[in-house]
């Protein structure tokens, strides 16, 4: 970041989140601790480092959930393969989408558009992509600065 090597790590459990970023060459370290479920610690940490290095930054914006018709949500139900041993199962429960990655607990997805969803427990977003005929063919997982496609297999 900014031409510097950054060592960083974040995590969370049961309502607590953490994030640390170190630039050892300059003896800079930013530690964030939150006693609430917040998905934006990584973005906040990057903004703080941008301030330290006099670079442009953005204040994280709150994502706002919108209602989406259950018939639209039903199209997204299925299993998506991220890797041979890692899949995400999308289900419709009580009018809302749930995502269950392999060997992880189920999490609620919140719509910010009819095709784009976000999680509140981690800084991750999911976008559903349709083919030319209008059939859902994949999802894209946006997390940790990466765009990870997952083909719909069921």
Domain match, 80 and 140 both: yes
pLDDT of residue 39: 59
Number of domains in the chain: 2
74 and 37 assigned to the same domain: no
Q: Please indicate, yes or no, whether residues 48 and 74 belong to a single structural domain of this protein.
A: no
Query: What is the full DSSP assignment across 35-94?
Result: SS--S-HHHHHHHHHHHHTT----PPPPP------HHHHHTT-EEEEEETTEEEEEEEET
Identity of the highest mean pLDDT range in 23-27, 34-38, 73-77, 103-107: 73-77
Domain at 87, CATH number: 2.40.128.50
pLDDT of the residue at 123: 77
**What digits encode the pLDDT tens for the residues 63-121?**
899 999 999 999 999 999 999 999 999 999 999 999 999 999 999 999 999 999 999 87
Give the per-residue pLDDT at 38: 63
Res 35 pLDDT > 70: yes
Say if residue 98 is in the same domain as residue 46. Answer: no
Verify that 81 and 133 share a domain, yes or no.
yes
Q: Which domain holds residue 11?
A: 7-52
Per mean pLDDT, which range of 11-15, 68-72, 79-83, 145-149 is the poorest? 11-15
Same domain, 78 and 26: no
Residue 2 lies in a domain: no
Q: Indicate whether 84 and 137 sit together in one domain.
A: yes
Q: Which residues contact 62 (CB under 8 A, 6 or more apart)?
A: none
* Cα distance between the two ends of the chain: 39
| Residue 139 DSSP SS3 | strand
Same domain for 125 and 81:
yes
pLDDT at 124: 87
Whether residues 29 and 92 fall in one domain: no
Best CA proximity match to 77, nearest among 58, 60, 46, 100:
100
Does residue 64 sit within a domain? Answer: no
Predicted confidence at residue 50, as pLDDT, reads 94
Q: pTM for the whole thing?
A: 0.72
The contacts of residue 32 (CB under 8 Å, 6+ apart) are 17, 18, 19, 20, 41, 44, 45
The answer to whether residues 17 and 37 touch, using CB atoms and an 8 Å cutoff, is yes
Together in a domain, 35 and 88:
no
């Amino acid at each position: 970041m900014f031409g510097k090597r950054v060592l960083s790590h974040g995590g969370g459990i049961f309502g607590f989140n953490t994030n640390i970023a170190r630039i050892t060459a300059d003896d800079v370290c930013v530690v964030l601790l939150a006693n609430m479920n917040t998905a934006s610690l990584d973005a906040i940490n990057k903004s703080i480092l941008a301030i330290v290095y006099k670079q442009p930054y953005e204040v994280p914006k709150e994502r706002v959930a919108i209602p989406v018709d259950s018939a639209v949500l039903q199209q997204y139900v299925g299993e998506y393969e991220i890797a041979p041993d890692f899949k995400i199962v999308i289900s419709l429960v009580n009018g809302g989408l749930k995502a269950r990655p392999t060997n992880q607990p189920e999490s609620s997805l919140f719509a910010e558009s009819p095709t784009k969803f976000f999680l509140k427990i981690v800084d991750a977003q999911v976008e559903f992509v349709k083919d030319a005929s209008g059939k859902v063919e994949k999802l894209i997982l946006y997390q940790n600065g990466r765009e990870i496609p997952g083909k719909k297999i069921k």
